Each structure stands twice: as structure tokens, then as C-alpha cells.
Structure 1
């Protein structure tokens, strides 16, 4: 029984550690986009659909980071951030070049958190 308890305690710590990393990463990136960091302006100019998209992406990142703070909203935050990073990786691959790996790693970590915090009631009805 102690093994099961320590395993679940370790599991909770891992999930919280990943959440904390994502909160910090997306809060910093989102604020950089919203405040108009020169590098962000250049990236979104290269995308070519306007700076409004920088504001939208920054807002999604900040809101997603905030949603990760609470377990009850962490699933939605992780899901939104995973989808955002999948689109970010695709943007690197198809439009602007550069290294898509950081976006892919953030997508995988966000999806991991979303899966860990998923509301079980959504999936139990399908079983």
C-alpha cells in the first residue's frame, strides 16, 4: 500500500512540475506577444496574416497558463495550449521555417497535462 501511495504522490508531483513549467513558459511567451516584443512582431510579420494574430495567440497563451493553475480548469488549459503549439509547429514547418521542436515539446507536455487532468465523466459515458 505504501508503494501505491508513494507512486501516486510521485505522479502528482510530476504533473504539478510539468504544469508549473508550462505556466511559466506560456505566461512569459504570451506576455511577450501582448507587449509587442520585437522578436514576436517579426515572427508574426513573417506569418503574414497580421499583428492581430499575435494578440490572439498571446491571449490564448496567457489564458491557458491561468487555466493550468487550477485542477478543475487544467484540462481546458492543457488542451488549448496543446492545440496552439500544434499550430505553432505547423507554422514553423510550413510558413516561416525555424525549429519546430520546442513547439512540439510544449504541445506534448500540454497534451500530457490535459490527459492527466481530463474529467473522467466525459470518458466514462463512452465506455
Structure 2
């Protein structure tokens, strides 16, 4: 005679929504990172206008890709999203003060990453 134990797991809508948000965040940052790392001419030009050097393009692309992967790993999710928030603060400031462009896109990315940081905070 074989006995099996079935456990029932409740899926909460909030958890599903948060994982979906993390998936969107990962897709946004992976999509932003790949052109930087592959040398898209528009981004090469943009980083040349920033005036620091192309090493910054590689660094930003690598950090964005690492953050995109990190937000999908439960243990790394919150620190990765926090790192992406910091990266987008820098991107917003660079767009506004160095490039003279709208910081709207980095601010949207910052808001999404900030929401993940907020909703993945430890329970009290």
C-alpha cells in the first residue's frame, strides 16, 4: 500500500503580482544593458558625450545586466533592486545635468526598482 502526502500551496495575488513586476524589471534592464555591451553606435556616442570614457558604458551595461539577473533570484532580489535604484539616480542626474536630456525613462525605471525594494522589505 502506498501513501502519498499532498500539500496544498496557496498562491497569493500579491506574490504573483510582485514576481511579475520583478520579471518586467529584469526585462527592462536586460534590454537596456545589451545595446551598451554590444557597442550600439548611439550609446557609444552618448557615453562619448558624457566625457568619462567608454569604460563607463561597459560598467553600466554590466551592472544593469547583473541587476536584471539579481532581481530574479529570491535571496538577491532586494539588494539587486536597490543597486538598480542607485544606478538610475546616477542616470537621471547624468541625463539632466550632463546631457541636458529628459530624465523620464531613468525615473520610470527607478520607480519600478524602488517598488520592488519596498515590497520585498523584510516583514516585521
Q: TM-score, normalised by structure 2?
A: 0.86
Q: How well do the aligned residues superpose, as a CA RMSD in angstroms? A: 1.6
The structural deviation recorded for 1:86 is 0.9
The structural deviation recorded for 1:17 is 1.7
Between the two proteins, the alignment pairs up a number of residues equal to 115
Consecutive unaligned residues of structure 2, counting only runs of 5 or more, are 1-9
| 1:40-83 Cα distance to aligned partner (Å, 9 max, x none) | 11110111100000000000000000101111110111001111
Question: For 1:9 and 1:102, how far apart are their aligned partners in 2?
Answer: 31
Question: For 1:14 and 1:48, how far apart are their aligned partners in 2?
Answer: 40
Consecutive unaligned residues of structure 1, counting only runs of 5 or more, are 1-5
1:114 equivalent in structure 2: 117
Structure with the largest fraction of helix: 1
SS of the equivalent of 2:76 reads: helix
Q: TM-score, normalised by structure 1?
A: 0.84
Counterpart check, 1:31 vs 2:34: yes
Structure 1 residue runs of 4 or more that deviate by more than 3 Å after TM superposition: none
Counterpart check, 1:99 vs 2:102: yes
Counterpart check, 1:15 vs 2:25: no
